[in-house]
Amino acid sequence: MSKIIKGHAFEGCRYNTSWTLGSTINRDITRTIIVDELTAASYLGRLQEALETPGVPQIGEASPDIVGLICNNLSVEPLSDKQAKITVNYYQPEGAGPEPPTPPGDDTLNWKVEFGCNTVQIQTEQDISNETLIVGFTPLKAAAVGGKIGINPVNGYPIGGVPNRDGVLTKVIPMNVFRPHRTLRAQLITPVARTPEYIWIMQEAYVGRVSEEVMWAGGGERTWLCSSINALIVGLAGGGKFYYDISCEFQHDREGWDGIISYTTKDGLIPPEIASSFPLLRPISAVPKTINGAKRPRMYLSAKFNGLINLDRLPSGP
């Protein structure tokens, strides 16, 4: 069985400190460990065996000598068929103090939630009553306006116009308006101990996804979008875990984040008979709906946001 040669445990040890104006003192340690009596048959197998030798530190493990430093890098190289040299690097995580914060008793995610609302500019083809913004126009005769810019010299109709049965041209005219935009921001009340992999899995599971619940935070299905999850290391927990302050942000769109796509003419205009049927694509549904010339596609994966922030179980009181 492989073992550390005690006499060489701290051979090549190096301890560095650095400081820049306005910051704290940063420290790091490099130490060398010699492992002997390797028995694995292959070259790579012996290197792996060296790293798994009892007494060799693991990534995320605290330094046994300097409080506040953790192991962040291990490299190994062969010395012979039975020996290998391991170089161990310890560093001081940003924001880590000599004493880590005390985690909650059950290490659960306890959130402080803030609801916000501001206005954002959007483009819409409907007024506040969901009436399509259609403009009608009775054109002049082609002979009177032929050749004028924006007029089709063949039929005298303004380019892009669609005549109805009475010969009136109609267009759907989009407008830029400001609409309320709700946000939800959540921050941990108490830091929690987690591995970096846990944070990555959390981000992968929620960021860029829409709400799957029929009703979450006062919004319907697919109306909330998780826009960010950030985790700040505030201390070392040991065993490959760190204490994190985690913050999340969600954006709300009452029409749903999937949007509506529509057929348009060569001039980029939506025919009024298609735009007037947009309300048929509402309210939001988990099943895509299609009408003649328009569709509500599903563009985002969904997630159960209650699995991250259960608003029914928030701590009571300030």
Is residue 163, in this structure, part of any structural domain at all? no
The pLDDT score that the predictor gives to residue 105 is 39
192 and 82: one domain?
no
The pLDDT score that the predictor gives to residue 132 is 80
The pLDDT score that the predictor gives to residue 228 is 96
The pLDDT score that the predictor gives to residue 308 is 92
d(CA 294, CA 83): 70
Q: Which CATH number belongs to the domain containing residue 78 in this structure? A: 3.30.200
Q: Nearest 5°: CA angle at 311, between 310 and 312?
A: 90
d(CA 316, CA 305): 20
250 and 116: one domain?
yes
Containing structural domain, residue 73: 3-91
Task: Return per-residue pLDDT of the chain as tens, 318 residues.
Answer: 677 775 445 556 777 777 655 455 677 888 888 989 888 888 888 888 988 888 888 888 888 777 778 888 899 998 888 898 889 888 877 544 334 444 443 467 888 999 999 887 878 777 888 778 888 777 654 444 444 445 555 555 555 555 665 667 777 888 888 888 899 999 998 888 888 989 999 999 999 999 999 899 999 899 999 999 999 988 888 788 888 999 999 999 988 888 888 888 777 778 888 888 887 787 777 677 888 888 888 899 999 999 999 888 776 554
Tens of pLDDT, residue by residue over 201-258, are 999 999 999 999 989 999 989 999 999 999 998 888 878 888 899 999 999 998 888 8
Is residue 216, in this structure, part of any structural domain at all? yes
Looking at the structure of the chain, the number of domains it has is 2
Is residue 78, in this structure, part of any structural domain at all? yes
In sequence order, what are the residues at sequence separation of 6 or more whose Cβ sits closer than 8 angstroms to the Cβ of residue 264?
270, 271
